[in-house]
Amino acid sequence: MSNVNGILWTFHRISPPRNEAKIHFFDNTYNVYPDVLEYYIISCLSKGFRFISFDDFLKNKNARGGERKNNEKDICITIDDGGKDIYQYAYPIFKKYNVPFIFFVNVCFLEKGFPTCIFPEFEATQFFFDYIYKNEFLKLADNIYPMKTIKEKQESFFILWDYYIEQKKKGIDSLAIIDEIGNSTFNMEEYHNKYACSWEDIKIMSDDPLCTIGSHAMHHNRLIDLSDAELDMELRESKRIIEQKTGKEVNYISYPYGLSNNKVVKYTKKYYKAACKLRLPHSNRTYAKKSDNLYKIPRQGFVCSALIDTFTAPQPIDYNKFADNKFIKLFFNKRVKKGQTYYRILGIKVPAKV
Ligand SMILES: [Zn+2]
């Protein structure tokens, strides 16, 4: 019987084009527009695909003997991080078409927003994009920079970002830096409410049989870099807090950045029944396999372009052309292994020019 275990998609943001889309290309790949999601669901249903929950996906994975079925037409939707847009835009679409989904949420992002999280894409950068988009000049220290054209706006982003990082290194609080940049008191609460789900949102979705809430750790750290104690805390506390907030058991986790190693898997087994990573988007392997490791379940990143033909293997994307992109360099750490320097972009190894 077939080893195919269906298709697992990973979404991060599902929202109409945001200000950043007008400044850099990320929105076009990272964010999926709600009408694209809806079109994708309708096309899949019309072609006889089934949307299944993560529990059912695992049930099929573990089925033995006569229970074992072909799952080529099964699709399981997974979402990472905890963005408000999922509640606002995606959840109503999932309800409309009765599509189950699992939402892996990062606890500190939900509770306090970007000052407690490591991942710059979360909100600090969102502030910069919103600020740059709305203003024509950037006043910073004693300098004034024009921000009228797209090119000027792109340049300003890096001026802002460098300044932000420099100030943070001096030990200045993120919000104080943003107050200074914006030349007014930054309303963190309002801002946070706009971009992160509240626990009420999570509870509403969690009470719906269509939704499963999973963990995406506490601080969105790279789990592979942590000490044993820190790793244990990230896994244990995120599970405990989400369970307390939803009143439901949390059995599944997706590793931040999809990163894991043997130590991470060993600790994950203490608290979770299964764990997800990210698959190389240029892999020809569209399906998950029943033989995949339960603690390294590979998911495919869903980008708008993947919609072009969802029923054949996705076309390979030439990530090398992004290797010199300044935004890539900002968001993805450069790494050196065995003398080779590269970035990891959505799980893809992209050689860096040095
Ligand atoms: Zn994430």
pLDDT in tens, 196-212: 999 999 999 999 999 99
Mean pLDDT of 35-56: 89
Residues 6+ apart with CB under 8 A from 7: 74, 75, 76, 286, 287, 288, 300
**pTM of the predicted model, to two decimals?**
0.81
Separation of 280 CA from ligand 1 center, angstroms? 16
Q: Is the pLDDT of residue 172 over 80?
A: yes
Do 71 and 1 lie in a common domain?
A: yes
Q: Do residues 241 and 215 lie in contact, with contact meaning Cβ atoms separated by under 8 Å? A: no
Separation of 80 CA from ligand 1 center, angstroms? 5
Question: How many helices (H) and strands (E) would you count in the chain?
Answer: 14, 15
Residue ending a domain, among 146, 180, 195, is 195
Do 230 and 91 lie in a common domain?
A: yes
Mean pLDDT of 235-259: 96
Q: Is the pLDDT of residue 308 over 50?
A: no
Q: Which H or E run includes 58?
A: helix 54-62
Q: Do residues 282 and 322 lie in contact, with contact meaning Cβ atoms separated by under 8 Å? A: no
Separation of 122 CA from ligand 1 center, angstroms? 9
Average pLDDT, rounded, for the chain: 83
Residue ending a domain, among 180, 195, 210, is 195
234/221 Cα distance (integer angstroms) = 9
SS3 content of the chain, % helix, strand, coil (to 5): 45, 20, 35
Do 109 and 232 lie in a common domain?
A: yes
Q: Is the pLDDT of residue 84 over 90?
A: yes
Q: Do residues 14 and 289 lie in contact, with contact meaning Cβ atoms separated by under 8 Å? A: no
| Residue 155: CB atoms within 10 Å | 17
| Banded model confidence at residue 314, pLDDT cuts 50, 70, 90 | very low
Residue-level pLDDT at 309: 42
Q: Do residues 350 and 320 lie in contact, with contact meaning Cβ atoms separated by under 8 Å? A: yes
Do 214 and 324 lie in a common domain?
A: no
| Burial class of residue 88 in the structure, from the number of CB atoms within 10 Å of its CB (0-12 exposed, 13-18 middle, 19+ buried) | middle
Lowest average pLDDT, out of 128-132, 170-174, 278-282, 305-309, goes to 305-309
Separation of 248 CA from ligand 1 center, angstroms? 22
- Give the phi and the psi of residue 78 in degrees, each rounded to 5: -125, 145
Q: Is the pLDDT of residue 181 over 50?
A: yes
Nearest to 301 by CA among 323, 289, 322, 317: 317
Do 67 and 161 lie in a common domain?
A: no
Do 214 and 253 lie in a common domain?
A: yes
Residue-level pLDDT at 338: 83
Do 103 and 236 lie in a common domain?
A: yes
Angle at 264 between CA 320 and CA 286, to 5 degrees: 45
Residue ending a domain, among 174, 195, 216, is 195
Question: How many structural domains is the chain composed of?
Answer: 3
353/343 Cα distance (integer angstroms) = 10
Q: Which two tokens stand for residue 196?
A: 């992160």
pLDDT in tens, 203-237: 999 999 999 999 999 998 889 999 999 999 999 99
Helix axes 124-134, 174-182, angle to 10 degrees: 0
Structural domain span for residue 324: 318-354
Mean pLDDT of 276-302: 81
Residue-level pLDDT at 283: 58
Separation of 152 CA from ligand 1 center, angstroms? 29
Cross-sheet strand order for the sheet of 348-351: 334-337, 340-345, 348-351
275/182: higher pLDDT: 275
Separation of 69 CA from ligand 1 center, angstroms? 32
Domain harbouring 232, CATH code = 3.20.20.370
Do 269 and 157 lie in a common domain?
A: no
R_g (Cα) of the chain, nearest Å: 21
Do 73 and 148 lie in a common domain?
A: no
| Banded model confidence at residue 2, pLDDT cuts 50, 70, 90 | confident
Separation of 255 CA from ligand 1 center, angstroms? 8
Q: Do residues 252 and 214 lie in contact, with contact meaning Cβ atoms separated by under 8 Å? A: yes
Separation of 277 CA from ligand 1 center, angstroms? 11
Residue-level pLDDT at 92: 97
Separation of 329 CA from ligand 1 center, angstroms? 18
185/179 Cα distance (integer angstroms) = 5
Separation of 57 CA from ligand 1 center, angstroms? 21
Q: Which two tokens stand for residue 2?
A: 């077939």
12/251: higher pLDDT: 251
Do 94 and 229 lie in a common domain?
A: yes
Do 102 and 250 lie in a common domain?
A: yes
Q: Which two tokens stand for residue 31?
A: 């964010």
217/234 Cα distance (integer angstroms) = 5
Angle at 40 between CA 34 and CA 45, to 5 degrees: 130
Nearest to 175 by CA among 161, 162, 163, 186: 186
| Banded model confidence at residue 82, pLDDT cuts 50, 70, 90 | very high
264/131 Cα distance (integer angstroms) = 38
Nearest to 15 by CA among 28, 25, 1, 2: 28
| Residue 353: CB atoms within 10 Å | 7
| Banded model confidence at residue 313, pLDDT cuts 50, 70, 90 | very low
Residue-level pLDDT at 162: 84
| Banded model confidence at residue 22, pLDDT cuts 50, 70, 90 | low
| Banded model confidence at residue 310, pLDDT cuts 50, 70, 90 | very low
Do 335 and 311 lie in a common domain?
A: no
pLDDT in tens, 253-267: 999 988 899 999 999
